[in-house]
Amino acid sequence: MRAVLCGAALALTIAPAMAQKSPYADYQRMAAENAPVELYELAGEEAWAKKQGPKNVSLERCDLGQGPGVLKGAYAGLPRYFADADRVMDLETRLLYCMMTLQGRAREEATKRVFGNADHASEMEVLSAYIARQSNGMPIAPGTSHPKEKAAYALGQKLYFHRAGPWDFSCASCHGEEGKRIRMSELPVLYKPQYAGPLMATWPAYRVSTSAFVTLQWRINDCYRQMRMPEPAYASDATVALIDFITVTAQGTPYRGPSIKR
Amino acid sequence: MNTVRRVLLQGAGVLAAGLLAPIAALAATWNKEAFGAKSAPDALKSIGATHAAPSGDVVIEAPEIAENGAVVPIEVTSNVPGTRSIAVVVEKNPFPLAAKFDFLEGALPYVKVNLKMGETSDVRVVAEAADGKRYTASKNIKVTIGGCGG
Amino acid sequence: MPGPMKMRASLGQGFTEVRVLMTHPMETGQRKDPQGKLVPAHFIQNVTVKVNGRPVLEAQTSQAVSRNPVFSFRLKGGAKGDKIEVSWLDTQGETNKTETAVA
Amino acid sequence: MRIRRALVLSFTAGLAACATPATAPIGERPPAPSPRDLDEITAVLKRDFHERGQAKMDRIQLDEVQRACNLNADHPPADAARALEQAELKKIPFPAGSLIGDWKKGEKLAQSGRGAMWSDKPGVQQGASCYNCHQISPKETAFGTIGPSLAGFGKTRGNGAEMQRYVYGKIYDAKAYNLCSQMPRLGSSGSLNDEQIRDLVGLLLDPASPVNQ
């Protein structure tokens, strides 16, 4: 009896590449239902209203694309082109812009600790949690019509397939073919909507393996770390372009985050 | 308040040193023997569940396979009439007893919690009926390694 | 000072569902910090749920509960406005509690 | 130099023939970049990236192999690919004698995903990341599937001098055998030293290794 059970278990372990439904689907559903993301949303609500910087004002007048202070649906509409900055911006890049313009903070100070840890989440992380929640249920709809939005998509696509560094990796080295895994982790093919959709619908997220809340800027940064490349600057055109490329690929998918990741 | 705190801190210190000393009476109960047990049989013994009867009335909902052992969601419902308590034992964890829930008048015998699992293991749930009889069910949960390991 | 808690209590079919989140490291005592030093055990040992001041559930917990614990409980019946209180006590004698009214 | 010109020419011809747009529609792989695209991307990386730890900025410079693979979407013309593979093969410093090292050390290296990242200590935290992409020892069930299974490798392929040389060379410089392979050049990139590569050869070829049990 035991041998039969073990055989079945082994088959399950080996099957994921071929399975229609991910063997982790139940895990991901239950873990998402039981994720501690609300703690970060609470902290984000406070950070949004906190007066700080040389101008001693909050971020409450920050325009995330839907008008000053409008949070509903703002995350689902990003990245997009902002005329005031003449740039395509994702959520974190836009928040940084507001910190610098509205609050008068220096870039160096505002980006000193953008990636937190299990003991202490960063301001950007908690703000991302709070703001993303208010797009829950809305379709992902980044800007795609402005020439700079088109350029960001094109650059992101080129970067995605660009092989470089000591290990000759591009994003597509791991996220380029269907049905592949790294260890037991299934690899979403992020230039295809059927993979980009479910993935982008759940970022930012509480990351189980580090017990920390993480953002898309972190995700891109950490991919380049593991690709053995130098470090991309936070909120740079390169990181925004990659986020834009994958978000545009995911467009139309209802956003259901913030959620949980392995 | 300060006194309470100090007594509790001392209790924790003693606990950490591995000595057996009763935690101050003011503190809530915590079954040191059961939680300190290093094998599943010892843990079950110390909660009086060695001879628990297998029962379909103890329902465990959990994933068959977990992407990461740091968070494994587990939902337990006991349909055993008059359930007084539910204990959750992760058999292969260094300290197998993970949690014990005592249901007083007003609570339903149901709980959902995230547990840590060091490796693939059976997770055993023991429900205690009003008459003190123990009923049990278990479920195997696989824990896998993912990611680049960087 | 303990980190924040968050709780929601909502009426279900004949019961009240309570979901509570706690900020806590739940250190096992077996994890090493980046410098290679063992991080001492530090975890919640007791959780108490009260309805209108009366205890209805008492949990004893170990280091096997995940960091930033999330619990869901169900209470018999219940009515809008019932006061739910959840408190915890950890290995260092630290405590925290949160209250909410059933919505 | 001649190789490079040939690659550029073949690409330019392709471009003239079908005049592909620079951006692919959603869900499709884009056309291979032009040399100008590559320069543009490298310029973006130069502007937006910075060195950190051991990851210096020279890492964004493309070598001939990377250029050829990028310019041809990993499918360079066969002749050009063969010439570049030969050039890579010549650079592998094959040691004399048996190349079968300690499979136990090899297994540890195969398990480790560390090494060459800005977060790693150079020379200390080194791994080969093998299990990330390959099935190897049957004892390890958490293996990746980007690369082929290597289970039973020595048992099915033998472990003579020729095979030892092939495995050593493949780990040292995978591009010497398949120009646009997704496998890193673990020796030529400086990630693994001679002894470490021999230990990995041992893991795959030693009859005592669990791989061949």
Q: For residues D179-194, give the mean pLDDT.
A: 97
Min mean pLDDT across A138-142, B13-17, C52-56, D44-48 is at B13-17
What is residue A14's predicted lDDT score, i.e. its pLDDT?
A: 34
- What is the ipTM metric for this complex? 0.83
D132 to chain B, minimum CA–CA distance in Å?
Answer: 6
Query: Nearest residue on chain B to A6, judged by CA atoms?
Result: B140
- What digits encode the pLDDT tens for the residues B9-18? 444 444 444 3
A117 touching C, CB under 8 A?
no
d(CA A125, CA A121): 6
Enumerate long-range contacts of B13-19, CB under 8 Å, 24 or more apart. B15/C91, B16/C29, B16/C40, B16/C41, B16/C91
Contacts of B142 in chain A (CB under 8 A): 9, 12-13
CB contact under 8 A, C70 and B113: yes
Residue C42, beta-bridge partner list: C27
Enumerate long-range contacts of C30-34, CB under 8 Å, 24 or more apart. C30/B94
The DSSP call for residue D176 is G
Whether the CB-CB separation of D103 and D209 falls below 8 Å is answered with yes
CB contact under 8 A, C4 and A38: no
Query: Nearest residue on chain A to C67, judged by CA atoms?
Result: A211
- Report whether pLDDT(B1) > 80: no
A116 to chain C, minimum CA–CA distance in Å?
Answer: 15
What is residue D22's predicted lDDT score, i.e. its pLDDT?
A: 67
Q: What is the mean pLDDT of chain C?
A: 94
d(CA A250, CA D27): 10
CB contact under 8 A, C91 and B90: no
CA atoms within 13 A on the CB side of C59: 31
What is residue B22's predicted lDDT score, i.e. its pLDDT?
A: 37
CB contact under 8 A, C64 and B29: no
Interface A-B: count of C-beta contacts within 8 A: 72
Whether the CB-CB separation of C59 and C46 falls below 8 Å is answered with yes
Q: Measuring CA to CA, which residue among D66, D57, B93 is closest to residue A233?
A: D57
- Report whether pLDDT(D19) > 80: no
Confidence band for A16, pLDDT divided at 50, 70 and 90 = very low
- What digits encode the pLDDT tens for the residues A176-215? 999 999 998 999 999 999 999 999 999 999 999 889 999 9
CB contact under 8 A, B103 and C41: no
A152 touching D, CB under 8 A?
no
Report yes or no on chains B and D touching (3+ CB pairs under 8 A). Answer: yes
Dig out the tokens for D70 from the structure: 């990028």
For a pLDDT cut of 70, what percent of chain C falls above it?
A: 99
Whether the CB-CB separation of A160 and A173 falls below 8 Å is answered with no
- Report whether pLDDT(C90) > 90: yes
- Report whether pLDDT(A2) > 60: no
Q: What pTM, to 2 d.p., does this model score?
A: 0.87
CA atoms within 13 A on the CB side of C98: 15
D149 touching A, CB under 8 A?
no
Q: Measuring CA to CA, which residue among D104, B35, A11 is closest to residue C65?
A: B35
- Going by C-beta distance under 8 Å and a sequence separation of 6 or more, which residues neighbour residue B101? B85, B86, B87, B111, C57, C58, C59
Q: For residues B4-8, give the mean pLDDT.
A: 41
B102 touching C, CB under 8 A?
yes
Task: Say whether A223 is catalytic.
Answer: yes
- What digits encode the pLDDT tens for the residues B89-139? 999 999 999 999 999 999 999 999 999 999 999 999 999 999 999 999 999
Residues of D with CB under 8 A from a CB of B: 111-114, 117, 119-120, 127, 129, 132, 142
Edge-first strand order for the sheet with C70-76 is B58-61, B72-78, B107-115, C70-76, C15-22, C5-11
Q: For residues A57-81, give the mean pLDDT.
A: 98
DSSP C17-70: EEEEEE----B-S--B-TTSPBPPPB-EEEEEEEETTEEEEEEEE-TTBPSS-E
Whether the CB-CB separation of A137 and A73 falls below 8 Å is answered with no
Distance in angstroms between the alpha carbons of the first and the last residue of chain D: 47
- What digits encode the pLDDT tens for the residues D87-119? 999 999 999 999 999 999 999 999 999 999 999
- What digits encode the pLDDT tens for the residues C32-43? 887 889 999 999
